[in-house]
Structure 1
Amino acid sequence: MLTINLSPVAELRTSRLSLRRLLPSDAPALLRLRSDERVMRYFDREPMTTEEQALELIRSTDELIAKNQGVMWGICLRPGTEIVGTIGPWNITAEHHRAELGYLLHPDLWGQGLMGEALDEVCRYAFEHLGMHSLEANVNPHNAASRRLLEKHGFVQEAYFRENFYHNGQFLDSVIYSRLAPR
């Protein structure tokens, strides 16, 4: 079985981004992201309404890190600035060397290649430093931008599940993408 050690959380850098551990001081920015209807349109979760909900998500992320079951980085345009998104592997299944990726970005920054930059760096870290064999992403089929992002960055569609997710009084479909570690 794969041995994962997420502590301390590594700070990752790209040419335009700094990815760092989420802090309680990020709660206001996280609330703004997770309460924005454009961000949450295909997220299939209820939007946040309070800063306490954001703090609870940060606390639960800290618990995942402590258990080596997942991490979520805050995406910053420069070190020391406010987060503009989040990304990270969670739902780590060490015995299968696999994790699920989740990500979101402020809508004002969509279409600039920033999420692709963050995605490539997180995949590199997951494969090279955590020893993952595969990463998956669960996407709402109507989220064409997310599907294009994944395909552009080496993910392939593995499955299409019909009405496998219940949210807001209706059954929704899911598309599963995956990317294997380079050989």
Structure 2
Amino acid sequence: MTTLTSKTADPVLVTARLVLRRPASGDLDDLFAIYSDPRAMRYWSTLPHDSPAVTSRSLDGMIAQTPLTYFALDLSGRVIGCAGLYRDEEVGFILHPDHWRQGYVTEAMNAIIPYLFATTQVPHLMADIDPRNTASAAALTALGFIETHRAKRTYCIGGVWSDSAYYALQRPYT
């Protein structure tokens, strides 16, 4: 069950296990633990963060976003990941490896997707993933996304090229 609360000006989505909220400056240590972990960043579009200062710059952008479309995934007061509208129509999610394969991304995105369609004018949502990232592909498919196409050599991260698989989810008709 997803509920929307508004103790502050920002919407907060609450699922069975998570509070989905605006990232805050106090989340820096939790986010650095995620963004500096090579396992979490294996299929990300940048190298792992080598210092908290790099994560702090990313966090500043997350905090400044208006309206709120990219959420911190708060589990019992600790941020275990982020998910939501990454840019334009593109969704993204990242999760600390200690929390992989427990359904947190699907749970969060099942709350975030209806929120995004209700509060934005995006005609569809899309995702760009490394095709080797089978866990993300499975999560997107479970959420109703359909793979639309693939492209070769789309990202060069640390001198290594990777490909992209693109997924789309159409806005539901109401």
Q: TM-score, normalised by structure 1?
A: 0.84
**Matched residue, 1:21:** 22
Distance 1:13 1:91 in 2: 23
Asked whether the 8 Å contact 2:152–2:162 carries over to 1, the reply is yes
**Matched residue, 1:88:** 84
Distance 1:168 1:155 in 2: 29
For residues 148-179 of structure 1, the C-alpha deviation after alignment (integer angstroms, 9 at most, x for no partner) is 11011100001101112222213321011111
**Matched residue, 1:135:** 125
**Matched residue, 2:96:** 106
Q: TM-score, normalised by structure 2?
A: 0.88
- Runs (4+) of structure 1 moved beyond 3 Å? none
* CA apart distance, 1:10: 1.6
> Could you tell which deviates more after superposition, 153-162 or 101-110?
101-110
Runs (5+) with no aligned partner, structure 1: 1-6, 93-98
Asked whether the 8 Å contact 2:13–2:20 carries over to 1, the reply is yes
Distance 1:121 1:45 in 2: 27
**Matched residue, 1:155:** 145
Task: Give the length in aligned residue pairs.
Answer: 166
Distance 1:8 1:179 in 2: 28
For residues 73-120 of structure 1, the C-alpha deviation after alignment (integer angstroms, 9 at most, x for no partner) is 110123xx010111120322xxxxxx1111111212211111101011
**Matched residue, 1:180:** 170
Runs (5+) with no aligned partner, structure 2: 1-7
